[in-house]
Amino acid sequence: MARQTEIQPAPMASERPFVKSWKAFFGRLITNKSAIVGGSLIILLGILAIIGPYIAPQSLNEQNFAVKLQGPSAEFWFGTDAFGRDVLSRILHGMSITFIIGFGSVALAGIVGTTFGIISGYYGGKTDTIIMRIVDVFLAFPGIILALAIVATLGPGLENVIYAIAIGSFPVFARIARGSTLAVKKLEYIDAVKALGASDTRIIIKHILPNVLSPLIVQTTLSIATGVLAAAGLSFLGLGAQPPSPEWGAMLNAGRSYMYDAPHLTYAPGIAIALFVLAFNIFGDGLRDALDPKLKN
14: pLDDT strictly greater than 60: no
CA atoms within 13 A on the CB side of 133: 7
44: pLDDT strictly greater than 90: yes
Is there a contact between 105 and 227 (Cβ–Cβ < 8 Å)?
yes
pLDDT of 99-149, one tens digit each? 999 999 999 999 999 999 999 999 988 999 999 999 999 988 887 888 888
Q: Tell me how far apart the alpha carbons of residues 224 and 162 are, in angstroms, rounded to a whole number.
A: 11
pLDDT of 2: 45
Per-residue DSSP letters for 2-42?
A: PPPPP-PPPPPPPPPHHHHHHHHHHHHHTT-HHHHHHHHHH
% pLDDT > 90, the chain: 31
Q: Is 159 left (phi over 0), alpha (psi -120 to 50) or beta?
A: alpha
Burial class (CB in 10 A: 0-12, 13-18, 19+), 85: buried
Exposure string for 217-255, b = 16+ CB within 10 A, e = fewer: ebbbbbbbbbbbbbbbbbbbeebbbeeebbbbbbbbbbb
- Cα three-residue angle 223-175-225, rounded to 5 degrees: 5
pLDDT of 226-277, one tens digit each? 889 888 888 888 888 887 888 888 888 888 888 888 888 889 999 999 999 9
Amino acid 11 reads: P
pLDDT of 260: 84
The verdict on whether omega for the bond into residue 244 sits within 30 degrees of 0, i.e. cis, is yes
- Cα three-residue angle 236-271-99, rounded to 5 degrees: 70
Split at pLDDT 50, 70, 90, the class of 91 is very high
Q: Where are the alpha helices (DSSP H) in the chain?
A: 17-29, 33-55, 87-123, 125-139, 143-154, 158-184, 188-195, 200-203, 209-211, 213-236, 248-255, 264-291, 293-296
Q: Tell me how far apart the alpha carbons of residues 244 and 159 are, in angstroms, rounded to a whole number.
A: 16
Q: Tell me how far apart the alpha carbons of residues 217 and 223 are, in angstroms, rounded to a whole number.
A: 10
Torsion on CA atoms 282, 284, 289, 291, rounded to nearest 10? 150
Domains of the chain, earliest start first: 32-296 (1.10.3720.10)
Q: What's the pTM?
A: 0.82
The 8-class DSSP code of residue 208 comes to: I
185: pLDDT strictly greater than 50: yes
> Between the CA of residue 192 and those of 34, 198, 202, 213, what are the distances in Å?
39, 9, 13, 22
